[in-house]
């Protein structure tokens, strides 16, 4: 979605033509995506490289890089590209080698590294550290400003993510006056702090005894079974529902009916679901995990809680469920205004285009 909307803004508002080099893929539904596409009056050319295989295949991912590099060099002979824009992680290598061969300016976008943030010293940590901070590029864009604190050989500019308000242009539905509907959207893994969110629900429901609430968990990943077992062990299966993987239109329906968004991450580079919730007129509780601190201001557009502290999270959730939050509508309005003022596609698209112009002018 990030790359798609960048392309759309650059084409519609800044008269760019873009060739987008991606892997050919076989989706989880076994749909084969291996054909090139021309979109938006032929100004976006999607070029699919290598052979269609499932995304999570290390061998195929590595070999697709060679295919992508050769495809780029082939198309550049005809197109004479002005600029290369690569997105983490491995495509940075394609962009770097391509820029070295062609002398074309290279800009890279760093979408995040939870492994670096949590200082997990394994092979992936050192690979990502080299890719993101040790290799020289023309310019780096990071979506989280704390990345600016890392020692880095590059010039780094912070430009956040964004949300398309038009996707959320509907009336918020309320069909559950006596039940507070809470929502979590994300990967079911350790970094997203799902286990501590379940502990917070356990405290509210089984210790305090407040039961008029329901938590929808939308997403899937490696730790799904572990979290389901945790819910069963605490006898919370009537209050926490695992709804699995959903397509975008289905996720929007969850936003339509939610009363509160929970973003309990241990490490979050940005947290675009916070923007989506605010655009849906939903209040948000999020941890102080990096990205949310750029977006949320306590009591202005909602709550920030401490990481790895289930009691802090539970107490904030409890205040909401018990209706003890003053000026709740004002907080919701502030959240929506935050989106309009700082996080629309148009605003961020202009900032990225400005960096394009600056980098190309510097090269000339």
What is the residue whose two structure tokens read 């050319």?
Answer: 45
Q: DSSP 3-state assignment of 40?
A: coil
CA proximity to 18, closest of 7, 6, 2:
7
Domains of the chain, with CATH numbers? Answer: 2-162+344-363 (3.40.50.2000), 166-342 (3.40.50.2000)
pTM equals 0.85
Kind plus residue range of the DSSP H or E element containing 32: strand 32-33
Q: Give buried/exposed letters for 336-358 (b at 16+ CB in 10 A, else e).
A: bebbeeebbbebbbeebbebbee
CA proximity to 192, closest of 291, 282, 124:
291
Torsion angle, alpha carbons of 205, 189, 6, 137, to 10: 140
Could you say which DSSP state residue 56 is in?
S
CA proximity to 94, closest of 126, 72, 123:
72
Digits of tens for pLDDT over the chain (364 positions)? 789 889 999 999 999 999 999 999 998 788 999 999 999 999 999 999 999 999 888 889 889 999 999 999 999 999 999 999 999 888 999 999 999 999 999 999 998 777 777 677 888 889 899 999 999 999 999 988 778 889 999 999 999 888 888 888 655 655 556 789 999 999 998 888 899 999 999 999 999 999 999 999 999 988 999 999 999 999 999 999 999 999 888 999 999 899 999 999 887 777 889 999 999 999 999 988 777 777 877 656 568 888 878 899 999 999 888 888 778 888 888 888 888 888 888 899 999 999 999 999 987 7
Half-sphere exposure of 18 (CA within 13 A, CB side): 25
């Amino acid at each position: 979605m990030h790359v798609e909307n960048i392309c759309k803004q650059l084409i519609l508002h800044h008269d760019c033509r873009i060739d987008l080099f991606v892997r050919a893929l076989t989706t989880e539904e076994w749909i084969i995506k291996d054909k090139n596409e021309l979109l938006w009056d032929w100004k976006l050319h999607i070029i699919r490289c290598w052979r269609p295989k499932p995304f999570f295949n290390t061998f195929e991912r590595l070999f697709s890089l060679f295919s992508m590099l050769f495809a780029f060099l082939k198309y550049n002979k005809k197109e004479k590209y002005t600029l290369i824009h690569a997105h983490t992680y491995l495509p940075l290598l394609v962009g770097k080698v391509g820029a070295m061969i062609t002398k074309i300016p290279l800009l890279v976008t760093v979408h995040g590294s939870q492994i670096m943030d949590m200082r997990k010293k394994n092979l992936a940590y050192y690979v990502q550290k080299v890719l993101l901070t040790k290799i020289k590029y023309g310019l780096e864009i990071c979506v989280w400003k704390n990345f600016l604190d890392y020692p880095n050989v590059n010039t780094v500019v912070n430009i956040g993510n964004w949300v398309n308000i038009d996707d959320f242009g509907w009336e918020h539905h309320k069909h559950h006056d006596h039940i507070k509907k809470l929502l979590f959207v994300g990967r079911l893994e350790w970094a997203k702090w799902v286990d501590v969110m379940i502990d917070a629900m356990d405290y509210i429901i089984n210790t305090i005894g407040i039961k008029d609430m329901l938590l929808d968990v939308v997403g899937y990943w490696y730790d799904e079974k572990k979290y389901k077992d945790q819910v069963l062990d605490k006898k919370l299966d009537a209050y926490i529902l695992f709804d699995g993987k959903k397509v975008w239109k289905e996720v929007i329906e969850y936003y339509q009916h939610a009363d509160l968004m929970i973003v309990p991450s241990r490490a979050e580079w940005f947290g675009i679901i916070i923007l989506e919730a605010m655009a849906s007129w939903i209040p948000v509780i999020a941890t102080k995990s990096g990205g949310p601190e750029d977006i949320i201001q306590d009591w202005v557009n909602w709550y920030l809680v401490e990481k790895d502290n289930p009691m802090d999270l539970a107490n904030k959730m409890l205040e909401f469920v018990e209706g003890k939050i003053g000026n709740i509508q004002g907080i919701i309005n502030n959240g929506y205004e935050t989106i309009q003022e700082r996080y629309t596609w148009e605003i961020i698209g202009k900032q990225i285009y400005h960096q394009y112009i600056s980098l190309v002018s510097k090269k000339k």
